Structure formats: C-alpha cells, structure tokens
Structure 1
Amino acid sequence: MASVNKQQREAAARLKRYEARQQLNATQNKRRVRDNIVAVIGVLVVATLAGFAQFFYFDSGPGAPTPAPSETPVAGENVGAPEADLSEYRVWTGDFTFNDSTVVGIQLDGTLAPQAVAGFVQDLGTGYYPGKTCHRLASDLSFLQCGSIDGAGSPDPAFSYGPVENVPADDLYPAGSIAMARGSDTYSNGHQFFIVLSDTTLDGSTGGYTIVGTVTSGLDALAALVAGGLDPATIGQDGTGAPLQPVTITGFNIQ
C-alpha cells in the first residue's frame, strides 16, 4: 500500500513538473510574440518618422525650392576650393559653347570676385564643365542655370566656397550677368552658375548672388536656344524646370 501511495505521489509530482514546463513554454512563446510585435512597430515608427522628416525637409524646410537660383546649402567654410590668388586678381576672357554650336563670349572679373573666378580657373584645369547640363530655366526665361554635378541640381559635396562677392546693391541682375548659384549658406557657392537672359531682380535678403562676370557676345543666341520654354514634366514648385530643348555645355575656355 505504501508503495502504491509513493508511486501516486511521484506521478503527481511529474505531472506538476510537466504542467510547469508547459506553462513556462507558453509564457516564453507569448513573450517572443510580444517582442516581435514591438520590434515591428518600432521599425514602422522609425520609417514613418524618417519619411516625415524627408518630406518636411524638401517641402517645408530649408530644402524647399525658391524662385532664385540656388543649390543645396553647404555650411561653414571652403571645401576643395582654391585660394583666391588663383584668379590673379585680373579679368579673364573666353567662352562657353552650348550644344556644340552656340558660342557665348564671357569675361570673368577677378578684381571684383576673385574667389569665384579662382573656382572657374580650377574647373578649367580639371575639365569640369564640358558635358555638364543646364538643368534649370526660369519660368519667364529670365535666367538659365548650369553646371550641377549630376544634371539635376545637386551640389558637389567636395567643392564649396564663400563668401558672396560683388553683389548688386539694388538686387538687380542686368541681362548678361553671370552669377553663382548657391543655397542659404553664403559658403555654398560651387560649380553652378546662372546666366541672366533679361534684367532680373532677385531677393537679396539672404546675401544675394556673386556676379562673377558678364556675357560679351552670344546672349541672344543662348536666349533663342531656350525660347521653347520649360519641359512640363520637370516644372517644380517654384515654377522653374529643365529647358524643353536640352542644353549641354560642350566647351569652356578662359585665358
């Protein structure tokens, strides 16, 4: 009899241990499911916040397009830019060729904008401009912006400089002006420039734009090249877009 009772107690103990293990396994499974759900929710929250931040930057924040020629801001100090001495503090003459046939004579004034002219001299030496496009045309055809590293307006992260130089006091950029595009930071000048096709007033509240030189010939021919207006598929919130007839820099010389 005592042996039977002992067996019953051992069986009951085994049953309790089994039930305890089952309960532990069930608890652990629930915890894993809960942890997985929390992890998924966390990923979704992070992705949502990242998407919102990107939307805010490009549509409401400092990345929002503005009517004036601009690049994405590059903060702080000169990056990859030469010393202003490279301009030799003199006037350089030369030309841009667009689409192999439209030649625009230019003067770049190193006495008034030595840092910007030094940038052009460096770009001449590296052969930067040939092959670059003019990606941005004003809706009223008042200016044409050229020289972005990717053909879509992005700045070159390895090349930026400041400050702005030779800014018109009255914010009026006469037809034929060659000016440097930039972002909100006055040290975000780079390769991009814009040629003013007709007298244009631009907001100077953030410091204006460096007039680096002037067109000496061929302005009418360049205006005729973009007379077809903007490609409707590329028009942005600020009304600018790519020229309907693509425009590419095929030659650049100064001396």
Structure 2
Amino acid sequence: MAPSKNAERDAREARDRLRRYNARQAVHTHQVKRRKRDNIAAVVGVVVVVALATLTQVLYFTAGPGVATSASPSASPSPSASPAATKNTGNVPASTIAQGRTWTGELDLNSVPLAIELDGKAAPQATSVFISLAQKNFYTTTGATCHRLTNSPTASLIQCGSVNGDGSGDIGFSFGPIENAPADGVYPAGTIAMARGAGAFSQSTQFFITYAATTLDTSTGGYTVFGKVTGGLDAFVSAIASKGVAATAASTTDGAPVAATKITKLTLK
C-alpha cells in the first residue's frame, strides 16, 4: 500500500527539521571552538605582554641602575654586564686600589662641578674599579656619556659610564659582590652607586647618581653605594635634571636627558 501524501509530507518536514537542527549544532560547535581559540590567544597575548614588560624592566634596571641598556626603579638604574655571572669575569681591577680609605674629587657634568667623596672602606671593590677607570680616563673619553635620566616620584637619578654611550657595550670585565647596599632600598640625594644587571656579579663600568631621595628594589640585593656628592647637586638639578627626560612612547619619566649630558672632568685624590 503506497504511503499517503500526508505521511510523505511529514517525513520530508521531519528530515528538514533534522537538517536545520544539525546545521545549528554545527554552527554552535564552531562558535564554541572559536571562543576557546580566542580565549587562549588572549591569555597568550597577556602572558607575552607581561613577560616583555618584565624583561624590559629587568634589562633597563638591571642594565638598571646599571648595565648596558640592552636596562629599571622602573626606574632602577640599568646594567652593562652579563646578568648570569656568578663570579668575577675578565680582568677586574684589584680591590686594594682604593686603599680602604676615603677619596675626594670633582666630577663635572656638562661643566657643572660636583664635589664627590668615595668610600674605599665600605665598598673597596666598586671604589677600586671606579678609581682605576678614572685613572685611565675612561670616564672622560669612552664612557663619558650619561645616557639615562629618571624623574619619577620615587626615583630621581642620572646614569653614566656605558661603553657605547647608550647604556650598552662591554669593557671586558664584570664584578661583584654587591657592597654597602641600603637594607631599606632608600638612596638619599647625592648617592653614587654602581648600576648592574640581574646578578650580583654583573657590575661593570656604569654608575648612577641620585639627585633626590630614591627608592629601589631590594629583592635582588640592591645596588653598591660607593660614594656621595658633597656639593653642587642643586646646580646639577637646575642645569640638567630640571630640563627633564626626552619622552618616548615607552616612558615620560625614564630615558635620555633632554639636556644631553657628558662627564667633562673627573679628578680624584
């Protein structure tokens, strides 16, 4: 007996409903998978951004205050030596050069004279390195440029002494350990300290001077304080620091000083 027209119509409609249901299910499944992919991509993007931001801070302030801007108190000073070093590398000047005594002298930035005092007793290795480089005229020739200025509410410093004049370069040695770092991370105005990378033995040629009270991270040991400015800081602020930072897309408080700065004189005795 042949099926009725109504039965055929019902069967056809049932097949159509099934096709539409399957199509909706396929679209839903695709959307769920796409949302999962988008969520994963978003998470990965956030992780990458955070990782890059962290790396930038480590390099700038571990190259900050101190090593080569390879670079931040996010504004920490930046480094110039390998952050992986766990011991002295290269021909590091002997720690006895400082003679365990106080040294006095003059450090001129753009001919603005700063009276300085170095502590060869509290920081014999860093002081000896600085004296050795000064005696070889490194800081008034190759390492004369002060490539970095920060003027954030918690970090006010100028960083100098890189081999290439931009925070980068390798003089051939790095040293440690960290000496005479303040336990509370507070560096008073006029502090002279070594910049470094992530490790305690990544100090090299770069140093920084704070021109206002500055607070830096203590979690990796802080920065070697080997001297202080005893006169002329107000003149430096007026002539150089007050001119500000050359703003970039990355920062308006940390970068090259607007007043291009060089060490024009350095004497010690």
TM-score interval for Structure 1 and Structure 2 normalised by the shorter chain: 0.7 to 0.9
| Stretches of structure 2 lacking an aligned partner (at least 5 in a row) | 1-48, 61-70
> CA separation of 1:57/1:157 partners in 2, compared to 1, >3 Å: closer, same or farther?
farther
Map 1:104-253 onto structure 2 (within 5 A): 104-131=114-141, 132-140=144-152, 142-224=156-238, 225-233=240-248, 236=250, 239-253=253-267
- Tell whether the 8 Å contact from 1:155 to 1:191 is kept in structure 2 after alignment: no
Q: Offset at 1:118?
A: 0.5
When the two structures are aligned, how many residues end up with a matched partner? 199
Is 1:82 the counterpart of 2:96? The answer is: no
**Partner SS, residue 191 of structure 1:** coil
**What's the CA shift string for 1:7-65, capped at 9, x where partnerless?**
xxxxxxxxxxxxxxxxxxxxxxxxxxxxxxxxxxxxxxxxxxxxxxxx99965545464
Q: Offset at 1:111?
A: 0.5
- Tell whether the 8 Å contact from 1:97 to 1:251 is kept in structure 2 after alignment: yes
**TM-score, scaled relative to structure 1:** 0.72
Structure 2 residue aligned with 1:8: none
Letter in 2 for 1:70: S
Is 1:70 the counterpart of 2:78? The answer is: yes
Letter in 1 for 2:198: S
Letter in 2 for 1:71: P
Letter in 1 for 2:91: G
**What's the CA shift string for 1:85-129, capped at 9, x where partnerless?**
111010000011111x20001000000000001001110221100
Partner Cα separation in structure 2 for residue 239 and residue 231 of structure 1: 8
Q: Offset at 1:77?
A: 2.2
| Stretches of structure 1 lacking an aligned partner (at least 5 in a row) | 1-54
Structure 1 residue aligned with 2:5: none
Partner Cα separation in structure 1 for residue 116 and residue 94 of structure 2: 22
**Partner SS, residue 138 of structure 1:** strand
> CA separation of 1:115/1:139 partners in 2, compared to 1, >3 Å: closer, same or farther?
same
Partner Cα separation in structure 2 for residue 94 and residue 240 of structure 1: 28
Partner Cα separation in structure 2 for residue 119 and residue 177 of structure 1: 17
**Partner SS, residue 227 of structure 1:** helix
> CA separation of 1:89/1:73 partners in 2, compared to 1, >3 Å: closer, same or farther?
same
- Tell whether the 8 Å contact from 1:129 to 1:252 is kept in structure 2 after alignment: yes
Q: Looking at CA atoms only, which structure, 1 or 2, has the larger radius of gyration?
A: 1
Supply the RMSD in Å over aligned alpha carbons.
Answer: 2.2
Q: Decide which moves more: 67-76 or 170-179.
A: 67-76
Structure 1 residue aligned with 2:113: 103
Aligned-pair identity in percent equals 41
Structure 2 residue aligned with 1:94: 105
**TM-score, scaled relative to structure 2:** 0.69
- Tell whether the 8 Å contact from 1:230 to 1:244 is kept in structure 2 after alignment: yes
**What's the CA shift string for 1:185-243, capped at 9, x where partnerless?**
1101111111011111111101100001010111111111221101124x645941000
Partner Cα separation in structure 1 for residue 145 and residue 123 of structure 2: 24
